[in-house]
Amino acid sequence: MMNSEPERGTGSMAPVCRCAIYTRKSTEEGLNQPFNTLEAQREAAEAYILSQWHLGWRAVAERYDDGGYTGGNLERPALQQLLTDLEAGKIDCVVIYKVDRLSRSLLDFARLMEVFERHGVSLVSVTQPLNTTSSLGRLTLNILLSFAQFERELIADRTRDKMAAAKRKGKWVGGTPVLGYDVAVGGGKLLVNHEEARRVHAIFALYLELQSVDKLVVELQKRKWVNKRRKRHAGNQGRPFTKAALHRLLGNVVYIGRVRIQGENYAGEQAGIIGQDVWRRAQELLTRERVERPRRGPTRSRLAATAQENPSPERVPRIARLMALALKFEQMKREGVVQNYSVLAALGQVSRSRLTQVMNLLNLAPDIQEQILFLTWETAEQRGIHERSVRQLSSQLSWAEQRARWHVLSSRS
């Protein structure tokens, strides 16, 4: 660790800048090794601080290391200690290896920067041209965070898309299996748990006999039947059935060998437990119960029905975010925030070719751009409106040709 000795060979000492080094690693893997990722981050930060010795930079003795903590939130012990010391006036500068070590969330990062600025503390990234004491550093920070957040959302979208594709093929993609099934060794498939399957059969039979989910709840409570265990511990015997849990069980298409994704049913790889006739009668009864349920004020069930009639906004499709990003970058260039796209690509740490792909979306006719911006995720999925198809569209020089092709693309079912 560096000390706080004055500069040698000079008659005066440069003003001391107390630098705190913050490191983070998402997983605990490898933390017990003598030289791990946290140490590598610290070593790079210490070397950078040493290079600024002539400016009075000194590393503080306190260590702020968060091993095994995600950057998606601020609930990290070392970060909280850093903020406490920062607010106590013990720190002048925070040095990090990379921006996402401090936070992966734009909102959280903005909150942190607000705290930093309020206490006159600067932020420096060792591997990125970032120093928030300058206007260029602040611009760089905003661009880096925009790209980091955008790429993180793309990864999440790709993960969801892969899971949806696997479900369409009938595969099991993880989570706790429902009553009546276990996950096969190695995962990826559900196997019938015959003991639990008999209980599922009995529940469906009781429902058809009692003709009421409310009566079924009471009967199962009398019998002390419980749902599937959520953990493999001897003390966990499963939770008692609730009305909501029974509605989910009775309406789960898994029991007839199907899987449901985005409101559509597909053939599953698992064997069915309930016969088609029993299933059909149970669904008819569930539907009848919902229709005949007395309307006595805004009950939870009626609120749920209202929510279905007025669903919350869907997640924005990737192509719509790309379109918005292209328009934002064009605005930055037009207003002189950046001189050209090469500078923007360098600041954003993406290849010039990738940035060109995004900016080429501006070649689309204005009305097509507007339709893409307001495109819903479900519509984009159903009609195959993705980056590749839209990029092919933007390569057409004639707006009339673009509109003709867009009409075909956006009208597909």
> What's the pLDDT tens digit per position in 323-380?
888 887 777 777 776 667 777 777 666 777 788 888 888 888 888 888 888 888 888 8
- Per-residue pLDDT of 71-80, as tens digits, reads 878 889 999 9
**What is the value of pTM for the model shown?**
0.39
- Per-residue pLDDT of 138-150, as tens digits, reads 676 667 666 666 6
- Residue 159 pLDDT grade (very low, low, confident, very high; cuts 50, 70, 90): low
Residue for token digits 């008999």? 198
Answer whether residue 60 shows pLDDT above 70.
yes
pLDDT of residue 312: 41
Q: What span, in angstroms and rounded, lies between the C-alpha atoms of 285 and 128?
A: 62
Average pLDDT over residues 231-244: 68
Residue for token digits 């599922």? 200
- Residue 306 pLDDT grade (very low, low, confident, very high; cuts 50, 70, 90): very low
Residue 106, Cβ density class (10 Å: 0-12 exposed, 13-18 middle, ≥19 buried): middle
Q: What span, in angstroms and rounded, lies between the C-alpha atoms of 350 and 189?
A: 39
Among 93, 73, 75, 74, smallest CA distance to 85 is for: 93
Q: Report yes or no: 180 and 193 within 8 Å, Cβ to Cβ.
A: yes
Q: What span, in angstroms and rounded, lies between the C-alpha atoms of 256 and 328?
A: 49
Residue 369, token pair as written in the block: 């751009």
Long-range contacts, stretch 4-13, CB < 8 angstroms, 24+ apart: 4/58, 7/53, 7/54, 13/56
pLDDT of residue 325: 82
